[in-house]
Amino acid sequence: MPDFEEMKESMKENMKQKHFRKRPKAGKGAKLAGAAIVVLAAAGVLSMDSTYQIQEQEQAVLSTFGVPKAVQETGLHFKIPFIQKVYKVNTTIQGFPIGYDMETNETISNEGVMITSDYNFIDVDFFVEYRIADPVKYLYTSQEPELILKNIAQSSIRSVIASYPVDDVLTTGKGEIQGKIKELILDKMDEQDIGIQLVNITIQDSEPPTQEVMRAFKAVETAKQGKETALNNANKYRNEKLPEAEAEADQIIQDAEAQKQVRINEAEAEVARFNAMYEEYVKNPAITRQRMFYEAMEDVLPGMKIIIDNGSGMEKILPVEPFVSGDGAVQQNAGAGNTENTGNETQGEEN
């Protein structure tokens, strides 16, 4: 029996020793597994921090030990973990208001109220559109580049508005004012060089700052519209009557030109007639004078009978008419003789 008990105790001792020898092996494997898990986790973290994605409307700045570099290509990119850092910027067109709150649409008096060249106060609202052109300068040149752009815009707006009268700001001069403001802002932004590019600046609204002044300006605007209406009506009437007057004047001119040509033709005919008569006169002055006298008498005394008496009791009748006998016969010879004698007597009288 004592031997059996000793053997039993000996077997228990051996089992304990075997158990103690296996436990250290199990603990070592667990440590290795934990280390592997840590390594895999670190590798996963490192792999996640080694890539970055650039979207279509983005640009990135990759900083390596504080030295920036612009990355413009879209898609997946790699970087060195813990050494390189990535900063992304939005390159789409953005904007901000001047003179009013975009959310509440309430007027901001210290931004929108300004004075014109004719010493009138006016409330003008603007909207500024810009985009980030250089992400490196945008991130590293200034801490608040948008604020710099806004201050430059406000300064340029006040400078340009102060050079225009209130009527131009309210009505017809808005386009020119916007152009000059934009040009002035671009010049100042080039001097600052903060990586922001001005896209556009527009006047949203312009009105007097108080209700009383607003009513007065509306009355002025109504009067201007009435003036424009009257001018348009006057121009319409002029456009209707002017062609009629021009047509009438052209007709008068054409009639005058026609009368002129008629007179010229008549004068040329008279000159030709006179020249022809003068040529005949040079050839035979006496006969030509006699003929001219007869023609003149015919023109002066048309259809009249002229009786010429030479003092001998003989009477001559011009123009010569045939003597009619009692039986109706015509004495042609007597008439011809009288005509010849009359001509001789007339020539004698002229001599």
Give pLDDT tens digits for 38-71.
Answer: 656 555 555 556 788 888 888 888 888 888 888 8
- 291 pLDDT band (50/70/90 cuts)? confident
Cis peptide before 285 (omega within 30 of 0): no
- From the centroid of its chain, how far is CA 262? 54
Backbone angles phi, psi at 115, to 5 degrees: -110, 145
Per-residue pLDDT at 96 exceeds 90? yes
Mean pLDDT highest for which of 5-9, 51-55, 259-263? 259-263
d(CA 342, CA 336): 10
Task: Average the pLDDT over 298-309 and give the result.
Answer: 69
Backbone angles phi, psi at 237, to 5 degrees: -60, -40
Question: Which pLDDT belongs to residue 105?
Answer: 85
Give pLDDT tens digits for 120-164.
Answer: 888 899 999 999 999 999 999 888 999 999 999 999 999 999 999
Q: What global pTM score does this model have?
A: 0.50
Give pLDDT tens digits for 160-199.
Answer: 999 999 888 888 889 999 999 999 999 999 999 999 999 9
- 329 pLDDT band (50/70/90 cuts)? very low
Q: Is 257 exposed, middle or buried (0-12, 13-18, 19+ CB in 10 A)?
A: exposed
Radius of gyration of the chain (CA): 62
Task: Average the pLDDT over 211-236 and give the result.
Answer: 82
Question: Which pLDDT belongs to residue 150?
Answer: 94
Task: Average the pLDDT over 254-281 and give the result.
Answer: 89
